[in-house]
Amino acid sequence: MIELFREGGPFMYPLGLWSMLSIAFFIERIWTYARLRSEDELAEITNDVNARIDSGASIDQLKEYCAEVGKLEGEVYGEGIERFEHLSREQRTMEEMREEMNGTVERAALAYLERYLAVIDFVSKSVVLLGLLGTVNGMINAFEGIAEKGLGEPTIVAAGISEALITTVTGLVIAVPSIAIFTYFSNRATGKAVEFEAYGHGFVDALLRRWQGTQAA
């Protein structure tokens, strides 16, 4: 394996780095999705935070609770509370507040679920180009060997062609799984975001009830 890496030439180093990036963020996504709460747990946490909002808990108390909850729910609701705190100081109608807050929690949920997928997508697209650069570099070396030694030294030509093929294959071997990883987790993120949407909107409604009460007072 080490010998094959050496034979692939200088472009094997960025290819190796790209492969490690893909593997690292693949493992991170597996860990994150394995720790996602079930829908029953999501409903329980949402009901709990809504009850705290309705009971008059302060913004700081709500933020502390979200920090304790963590994961998807804690991060999204924490961001929603911060956005609510900002919007409540502005002159907005109820519908404007609802639209803005719903958009905030939806974006925050999708951002959490799609985190680092952009890196995997970048790897899947750029690694093929890196492989092609290695291919071009190998072919240049092969033709330079021919120009310098002629066809009487087939080993020089073979080394260049070997470098070209190794980088091409390596790029494809990294790209195909990376595309599969990106597609799989993109679909999972979309599905989980749709599942979360109703709970996020319920959370927004609780915040708006609180805001409406302060406006009436």
| Nearest-5° Cα angle at 124, 190 to 160 | 170
Tell me the C-alpha distance between 89 and 86, whole Å.
Answer: 6
Nearest in space to 107 (alpha carbons), one of 19, 26, 204: 204
Q: 34-43: b or e for each residue (b if 16 or more CB lie within 10 Å)? A: eebeeeeebe
Residues 165-196 pLDDT 10s: 788 888 889 999 999 999 999 999 999 999 99
Q: Is the pLDDT of residue 154 over 80?
A: no
pTM of the model: 0.81
Judge contact between 184 and 85, C-beta under 8 A: no
Tell me the C-alpha distance between 15 and 194, whole Å.
Answer: 36
pLDDT (0 to 100) of residue 180: 95
Name the token pair of 82: 């911060």
pLDDT (0 to 100) of residue 72: 93
- Residue 10's pLDDT band (cuts 50, 70, 90): confident
Residues 79-112 pLDDT 10s: 999 998 888 887 777 888 889 899 999 999 999 9
Tell me the C-alpha distance between 28 and 175, whole Å.
Answer: 18
For residue 60, the tally of other CB atoms under 10 A from its CB is: 10
Name the token pair of 37: 């709460």
Q: 4-19: b or e for each residue (b if 16 or more CB lie within 10 Å)? A: eeeebbebbeebeebb
Helix (H, G, I), strand (E, B) or coil at 1: coil
Nearest in space to 36 (alpha carbons), one of 115, 122, 121, 124: 115
Q: 131-162: b or e for each residue (b if 16 or more CB lie within 10 Å)? A: bebbbebbeebbeebbeeeeeeeeebbebbbb
Residues 27-66 pLDDT 10s: 999 999 999 999 999 999 999 999 999 888 888 999 999 9
